[in-house]
Structure 1
């Protein structure tokens, strides 16, 4: 068994009092948790009892931002705190990420962050999610590509940023979900060679053993002014699936998108916010 899962077992063996809500006195929201020469931010869910295991969303911030933004962002922490999910937001060096090539120091940092979180909090090891926006989405894709199985990533939630679809990933998440705007002029929508709009998730469709069969296509929205078109490939190996949501807008986190993904993944009735 890999070291990370051994650590999970160790954390579960600790008494609840050893992992209680003392973290608020050391790091919370804009006060980062220090990890060697790096750091990350934390936002606990509303009404957490201090002992129950929590799903975890590790969200990587965009370019020239820090982890202090996601833990106070309505479309990110506003979703996690209402759904019992522990939000973790690592800080990139010089406010960016090293994610264009495999196994960078930032990839190992993500692994170390998860291990440190498990030492501080009781978490649900079957519900570990990776997310990110813009450059942070590319970073989330990179971590899933390099360490998705080692970290037991239940799902990747990418927003407006991908790695190359020809990447030869060593690992992969159990499920991949991505959203991108057709008019994105920061990180352009990754059309296929023939202009295909389903190309942005072709990497995960290949790695997760999906067929070309589309199992669901529909429009959906949580706010009146933004409609998303969903394409889902559910005929993948071992019961996994890949989901792509596209919209007519630009480079932003769609209202309610993270919350909707968490509701579906955690078998909750979809709500907004």
Structure 2
């Protein structure tokens, strides 16, 4: 398997446990200072009011085209939302500010695996709460990553980007949450035959063995944007959540934060 050696290393670091690390100390790379790794780099940002000891949930986020991991950290809709919820934000930098998500086998998947191993060297990580997200090209990369390396991922939080729905994924996260604008013309919303909107998550519905959908109606975080939610919760494994909105290509205000609130059993808040 493409990540067998990385999995072995990961297991060794997870097994060491947070307690063995002792209180966290700055490692020289944090925030705008990138962590160098295998000729590439990533950014990491600890949450507010962290005690330096407690194991941290992790959000591995893939930035959009022409951006960097630092852009995601500075974003109110990503960075601000993540750090105030006790989650460690990890944002890899794509080569040439983009991601190679088109082929089934891509070095970007292996790089992301190596990033998680390196993060576990530096921080006490809660291995049961590893989340993966992305926006636009980064969302497609997040799909690709969990398709190839997602068995240890608690949830995919994808925004406005997918891979082909007829692909076969050897691995999968325990839960999938995807949001997309119906008028997106950058990474077009993948309607199915006859304009069927649920086709946009057909890959994960098939992979997780999901049955009948439940329409939960509209919900919103901000007044000017309502989202329609459909859930497949009777899956053989986990569940799939699809949020759609009438807009275009953007990260909806409060969406990342609301998903983390629900996954972490926190009181919903904004941002």
TM-score by length of structure 2 reads 0.95
Question: Which runs of structure 2 are paired with 1:84-163 in the superposition (5 Å)?
Answer: 84-149=86-151, 152-163=152-163
Is the CA contact (8 Å cut-off) linking 1:11 and 1:118 kept in structure 2?
no
Deviation at 1:203, TM superposition (A): 0.5
Deviations 1:18-49 (A, max 9, x none): xx1313xx112211011120100111100011
Q: Which residue of 1 aligns with 2:182?
A: 182
Is the CA contact (8 Å cut-off) linking 1:97 and 1:139 kept in structure 2?
yes
Structure 2 distance, partners of 1:214, 1:207, is: 15
Query: Which residue, 51, 54, 71 being the options, matches 1:52?
Result: 54
**Is the partner of 1:22 in helix, strand or coil?**
coil
Q: In angstroms, what is the RMSD of aligned CA positions?
A: 1.3
**Is the partner of 1:88 in helix, strand or coil?**
strand
Is the CA contact (8 Å cut-off) linking 2:18 and 2:53 kept in structure 1?
no
Q: Which residue of 2 aligns with 1:225?
A: 224
Q: Which residue of 2 aligns with 1:22?
A: 26
Deviation at 1:78, TM superposition (A): 1.1
Query: Which residue, 247, 250, 255 being the options, matches 1:249?
Result: 247
Is the CA contact (8 Å cut-off) linking 1:33 and 1:40 kept in structure 2?
yes
Deviation at 1:228, TM superposition (A): 0.2
Structure 1 distance, partners of 2:115, 2:187, is: 27
Deviations 1:151-177 (A, max 9, x none): x10000000000000011111111000
Deviations 1:225-250 (A, max 9, x none): 00000000000014x11000000000
**Is the partner of 1:251 in helix, strand or coil?**
coil
Deviations 1:41-79 (A, max 9, x none): 111100011111110000000001111101111000111
**Is the partner of 2:221 in helix, strand or coil?**
strand
Is the CA contact (8 Å cut-off) linking 1:40 and 1:113 kept in structure 2?
yes
Is the CA contact (8 Å cut-off) linking 2:21 and 2:124 kept in structure 1?
no
Deviation at 1:194, TM superposition (A): 1.8
Is the CA contact (8 Å cut-off) linking 1:219 and 1:228 kept in structure 2?
yes
Q: Which residue of 2 aligns with 1:8?
A: 14
Q: Which residue of 2 aligns with 1:202?
A: 202
Deviations 1:117-173 (A, max 9, x none): 000000110000000000000000000000001xx1000000000000001111111
Deviation at 1:11, TM superposition (A): 4.4
In structure 1, list runs of 5 or more residues that go unmatched: none
In structure 2, list runs of 5 or more residues that go unmatched: none
**Is the partner of 2:76 in helix, strand or coil?**
coil
Is the CA contact (8 Å cut-off) linking 1:215 and 1:235 kept in structure 2?
no
Question: Which runs of structure 2 are paired with 1:71-86 in the superposition (5 Å)?
Answer: 71-86=73-88
1:37 aligns with 2:39: yes
**Is the partner of 2:73 in helix, strand or coil?**
helix
Deviation at 1:222, TM superposition (A): 0.5
Is the CA contact (8 Å cut-off) linking 1:29 and 1:42 kept in structure 2?
yes
**Is the partner of 2:69 in helix, strand or coil?**
coil
TM-score by length of structure 1 reads 0.94
